A and B are shown apart, each in its own frame.
Chain A
Amino acid sequence: DTEVTQTPKHLVMGMTNKKSLKCEQHMGHRAMYWYKQKAKKPPELMFVYSYEKLSINESVPSRFSPECPNSSLLNLHLHALQPEDSALYLCASSPSARQGFYGYTFGSGTRLTVV
């Protein structure tokens, strides 16, 4: 299995809703990432998990809450989002967060719309 699987592919939520995005990989990668991408813009790093521990939080608002229950699974819990949070949310993984040689394997993303 050489894929990163993200669910759901599309999500529409109200500003008072609570929802979660899910990301799964079975490549044995020990680093996992959440990125936010606006249309025609590069991905922006949100969080980095290395060996299931949060190692980087790029000053993301607390309405985004990441969770890494095990080495294969990464969640992003969403609560009280704003319309400007509407974006494509990409998950990625790599064998290691510390070795620059490795590129990332990306998922296909979740298209989130906040209404």
Chain B
Amino acid sequence: AQTVTQSQPEMSVQEAETVTLSCTYDTSESDYYLFWYKQPPSRQMILVIRQEAYKQQNATENRFSVNFQKAAKSFSLKISDSQLGDAAMYFCAYRSTGNQFYFGTGTSLTVIP
């Protein structure tokens, strides 16, 4: 089974600063998809950003961007201009065609005013 590792259980960032959350994964497949989900205290898991493995260009969604290194099996999330509403649990997830999600253990992000 695929494994997804998030080595930072907790991170903090000053409001308006930039923070990077790390994620690595292990797979023998060549075609797959990677996701970052955010889970605020409201509990709902919200899709932040998605990357297709066959695309070399890193995905970007407004203040959120990824650094996808396929050979290194690394998929980090960069949050620019951090806002108080970014405080949440962030889960990295892996999904291949015809398969379910594999979630990482999560990183709890605190935003300091």
Contact = CB atoms under 8 A, between A and B. Distances in A.
B95 A100 contact: yes
B108 interface: yes
B89 A88 contact: no
Classify the secondary structure of A's interface with B: loop
Given A40-B89, A103-B47, A107-B44, 5 more contacts: A41-B106, A56-B100, A100-B31, A100-B99, A103-B95
Interface of B: 31-33, 35, 37, 42-47, 50, 52, 89, 91, 95-101, 103-106, 108
Contacts of A42: 91, 103-106
Contacts of B47: 103-105
Interface in A14-51: 33, 40-43, 45, 48
Contacts of B52: 101
Contact of B100 (A40, A41, A45, A90): A45
A54 B108 CA distance: 33
Size bracket, chain A contacts: 20 to 34
Contact of A100 (B32, B89, B104): B32
Interface of A: 33, 40-43, 45, 48, 56, 88, 90, 92, 97-101, 103-109, 111
B24 to A, nearest CB: 15
Given A98-B97, A98-B98, A43 B108 contact: no
Contacts of A43: 45, 91, 103
Contacts of A41: 105-106
B30 to A, nearest CB: 12
